[in-house]
Amino acid sequence: MPASPSGAAAGPGEGPFRVGLLGHGTVGAAFATLLAERADEIERFNGRRPVLGGVLTRSRGDFEEILADADLIVEVMGGIDPARDYLMRAIRAGKDIVSANKQLLSQYGEELFEAAREKGVRLRFEAAVAGVVPVVRVLEESLSATPIERIHGIVNGTTNYVLTEMSKGLSYADALAEAQRIGYAEADPSDDVSGRDAAAKMAILARLAFGSPVHLNDVRYEGIEQLQSDDLEYARELGLGLKLVGTAERIDGGVSVHVLPTLLYGGHPLASVSGPFNAVTVESQTITEITMSGPGAGGRQTASAVLGDVVSVMTGGARPPAPPLELPLITDVRSAFYVHLEMEDRPGVLAAVTKILGDNDVSIRSVVQRGIGEGSRLVMVTHRVLESSLRKALAEVARLESVRARPRTIRVIEEEFV
Ligand SMILES: NC(=O)c1ccc[n+]([C@@H]2O[C@H](COP(=O)([O-])OP(=O)(O)OC[C@H]3O[C@@H](n4cnc5c(N)ncnc54)[C@H](OP(=O)(O)O)[C@@H]3O)[C@@H](O)[C@H]2O)c1
């Protein structure tokens, strides 16, 4: 049964399934096209035909009319306001929601989840995390009975592309300019290169994996702007490749979430993820490790994840969000590190450095020494150490007379999968 002349939506389970679309940009326009292309097939297997109801942009459509007409609201506007207000109003009106908005979910997710739970409304957001890589669904459904210990993710395609180009010898500035030229980076890439975009996605993943609310502000993040080309060269000599990796892990009854430039050994599942791709590795003793990878962005790709969520709601596969489980946030975590020291090569310097490191429980896994005299470099990889112990040791090292610059560090993921 089509919508009544008054504009009211058909009742549950009757007639076309009307989708109200907030936003008609890169993703919204691709979604509208894909919906029309796939409507026959979706109707064939689930009995109802999805159709586009109203569309809202800055210059077109009326939110109240779209809401009244819709069975479900798709939000692909982005930003916090007015998306937050529209979604809260839609939830209060009892409409199911599909959103691709990572910034909104990582800052106001709990408010939306609580409202959705109260109203028994489904809220799906596969496209908010790693584009078309179905990690949200896998965490919520396939792995819902698995105690997850850790998630590592390359969840920002722009930075992964830039780092891939830098590993071929391009400078950061040239690699970023190339990414902008071919459309992998926006004119203002600051959310991507600062790590903030990846931090928002990791906050959402941590909530899914551990049940604990994690706000974007709880995620420590560093981007790729400060990386130096020679760090990549030394890392290569040590058998390591550089990625921007988000980590969400359970530690000592708490949760730690961070996004950092990270060095990986060649056998790690994320080491081979190059170009604008995304990948997420989920670790648990029960399943050992699984990795999912695929395109992290793009209008049609993202629209496909959004439409998958719509179909999931239509077929009753989704349920309202689970209540939160409050876990403490842990910020001082154990990791291996790459350490780059620029120093004067004088007798006794190496011994002084290794003594300070040893006194602070920092043990060395491998070392590369280059150059002589004033500009010599000592580059090493430590074994796992509490980050606060390493920082304390390096503060002491920096005070040595022969050390010429502030020590540089990059996190290293030690695991070597074979
Ligand atoms: N692009 C991707 O590859 C990708 C991938 C994953 C997730 N996402 C997420 O998907 C969402 C949409 O991204 P996009 O790239 O499609 O953005 P976009 O191209 O900038 O499109 C945004 C759309 O929302 C509309 N809009 C924005 N503010 C509005 C307001 N205040 N009132 C009414 N309409 C408003 C815009 O209207 P006008 O047309 O009038 O300007 C435009 O149609 C974002 O949350 C983004 O993070 C995007």
* Amino acid (one-letter) located at 67: L
Q: What is the pLDDT of residue 347?
A: 83
Is 227 close to ligand 1, i.e. is its CB under 6 Å away? no
Reading the block at residue 344, the tokens are 């004067």
Ligand 1: residue of 76, 126, 192 to mutate (most ligand atoms within 8 A of CB) is 76
Ligand 1 atom closest to residue 27's alpha carbon, by position in its atom list: 16
Q: What is the 3-state secondary structure (H, E, C) of the chain?
A: CCCCCCCCCCCCCCCCEEEEEECCCHHHHHHHHHHHHHHHHHHHHHCCCEEEEEEECCCCCCHHHHHHHCCEEEECCCCCCCHHHHHHHHHHCCCEEEECCHHHHHHHHHHHHHHHHHHCCCEECCHHHHCCCCHHHHHHHHCCCCCCCEEEEECCHHHHHHHHHHHCCCCHHHHHHHHHHCCCCCCCCHHHHCCHHHHHHHHHHHHHHHCCCCCHHHCEECCCCCCCHHHHHHHHHCCEEEEEEEEEEEECCEEEEEEEEEEEECCCCCCCCCCCEEEEEEEECCCEEEEEEEECCCHHHHHHHHHHHHHHHHCCCCCCCCCCCCCCECCCCEEEEEEEEEECCCCCHHHHHHHHHHHCCCCEEEEEEECCHHHEEEEEEECCEEHHHHHHHHHHHHCCCCECCCCEEEEEECCCCC
Q: What is the pLDDT of residues 141-172, one digit of tens each?
A: 999 899 999 999 999 999 999 999 999 999 99
Q: What is the pLDDT of residue 2?
A: 37
Q: Which residues are the active-site residues?
A: 201
Please tell me whether the overall predicted TM-score, pTM, comes out greater than 0.85 for this model: yes
Is 298 close to ligand 1, i.e. is its CB under 6 Å away? yes
Is 302 close to ligand 1, i.e. is its CB under 6 Å away? yes
Ligand 1 atom closest to residue 78's alpha carbon, by position in its atom list: 45
CA of 169 to the centre of ligand 1 (A): 34
Ligand 1 atom closest to residue 128's alpha carbon, by position in its atom list: 7
Q: Report which protein residue has its CA nearest ligand 1's atom 27.
A: 77
Q: Report which protein residue has its CA nearest ligand 1's atom 29.
A: 58
Is 76 close to ligand 1, i.e. is its CB under 6 Å away? yes
Is 183 close to ligand 1, i.e. is its CB under 6 Å away? no
Ligand 1: residue of 21, 22, 26 to mutate (most ligand atoms within 8 A of CB) is 26
Q: What is the pLDDT of residue 7?
A: 38
Q: Report which protein residue has its CA nearest ligand 1's atom 9.
A: 100
Q: What is the pLDDT of residue 416?
A: 59
Q: What is the pLDDT of residue 370?
A: 83
CB within 8 A of 44, min separation 6: which ones?
A: none
Is 389 close to ligand 1, i.e. is its CB under 6 Å away? no
Is 271 close to ligand 1, i.e. is its CB under 6 Å away? no
Handedness of CA 162, 164, 165, 166 (dihedral sign): positive
Reading the block at residue 5, the tokens are 């002349």
Q: Report which protein residue has its CA nearest ligand 1's atom 41.
A: 58
CA of 83 to the centre of ligand 1 (A): 10
| Distance of alpha carbon 136 from alpha carbon 329, whole angstroms | 22
Q: What is the pLDDT of residue 72?
A: 98
| Distance of alpha carbon 76 from alpha carbon 73, whole angstroms | 10
Is 267 close to ligand 1, i.e. is its CB under 6 Å away? no
Is 127 close to ligand 1, i.e. is its CB under 6 Å away? yes
Regions of the chain where pLDDT drops below 50: 1-11, 418
Q: What is the pLDDT of residues 39-55, one digit of tens each?
A: 999 999 989 999 999 99
